[in-house]
């Protein structure tokens, strides 16, 4: 019978067990398995992160496209307002329509030299029913522009020109405040014509 102060006998398994260090190959397999398991746990969170990034990029692209889509009509409206205002102003008194008055394009074109940072194309379009009458400097779209004047069937036409990086475009007609407006891009220039004639009669100016 065991006495009260006798030592507790050591369990047989602990007493007789033999300890061995795990082989390096086994340790490496365990390390790789643990790393793989940890990677699989992280993968969903990484996937969610990339998904959020892609979603934000899509939203940004759509927002930018919508902004550009709405910006172009707004720009055209502002320029249309400018050209109508400039056209009306040119008809309000003597010597406001032309700074140089001539039906000769070789007289009108050189007059702009040194007054603008570009050389405006000047053409007599009498064959289309628009006789050149002169030109002047004006201010449209936040910059100094060339304003060429034509006469057609007792109507005065103002044609505003300035450089543009936009590609060539077919003429488009619109109306503002009862005036017909024709706009187009050609050969690195932006053109806006305005008159009180009908859009159909103004259209040949761009041909």
Give the pLDDT confidence score for residue 207 in this predicted structure: 84
In the chain, % of residues over pLDDT 90: 60
Give the pLDDT confidence score for residue 69 in this predicted structure: 45
Among 18-27, 128-137, 139-148, 177-186, the least confident range: 18-27
Q: Are 155 and 196 in contact (CB under 8 A)?
A: yes
Mean pLDDT value of segment 136-153: 96
The β-bridge relationship of strands 189-195 and 169-176 is unpaired
pTM of the predicted protein model: 0.66
Reported as a pLDDT band with limits 50, 70 and 90, residue 39 is: low
Statement: residue 70 has pLDDT above 60? no
Q: Starting at the earlier edge strand, list the strands of the sheet with 179-186.
A: 100-101, 131-140, 143-152, 155-163, 189-195, 179-186, 169-176
CB atoms under 10 Å from CB of 38, counted, come to 10
Give the pLDDT confidence score for residue 75 in this predicted structure: 84
Q: If you write DSSP's letter for every residue of 23-87 in order, what string do you get?
A: PHHHHHHHHHHHHHHHHHHHHHHHHHHHHHHHHHHHHHHHHHHHHHHHHHHHHHHHHHHHHHHHH
Cα–Cα distance for residue pair 61/54, rounded to 1 Å: 11
CA-nearest of 98, 125, 127 to 112 is 98
Reported as a pLDDT band with limits 50, 70 and 90, residue 56 is: low
Per the prediction, the chain carries an average pLDDT of 81
Residue given tokens 């009509």 in the structure block: 73
DSSP state of 114: T
């Amino acid at each position: 019978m065991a006495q009260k102060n006798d030592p507790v006998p050591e369990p047989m398994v602990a007493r007789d067990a033999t300890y061995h260090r795990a082989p390096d190959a086994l340790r490496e397999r365990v390390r790789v398995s643990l790393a793989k398991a940890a990677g699989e746990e992280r993968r969903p969170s990484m996937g969610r992160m990339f998904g959020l990034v892609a979603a934000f990029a899509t939203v940004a692209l759509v927002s930018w496209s919508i902004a550009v889509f709405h910006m172009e009509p707004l720009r055209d409206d502002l320029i249309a307002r400018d050209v109508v205002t400039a056209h009306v102003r040119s008809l309000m008194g003597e010597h406001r329509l032309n700074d140089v008055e001539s039906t000769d394009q070789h007289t009108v074109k050189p007059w702009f030299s040194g007054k603008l940072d570009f050389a405006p194309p000047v053409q007599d379009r009498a064959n289309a029913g628009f006789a050149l009458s002169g030109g002047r400097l004006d201010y449209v779209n936040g910059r100094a522009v060339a304003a060429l004047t034509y006469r057609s069937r007792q109507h005065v036409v103002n044609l505003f020109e300035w450089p543009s990086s936009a590609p060539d475009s077919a003429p488009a007609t619109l109306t503002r405040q009862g005036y017909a407006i024709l706009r187009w891009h050609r050969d690195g220039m932006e053109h806006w014509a305005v008159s009180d004639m009908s859009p159909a009669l103004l259209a040949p100016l761009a041909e």
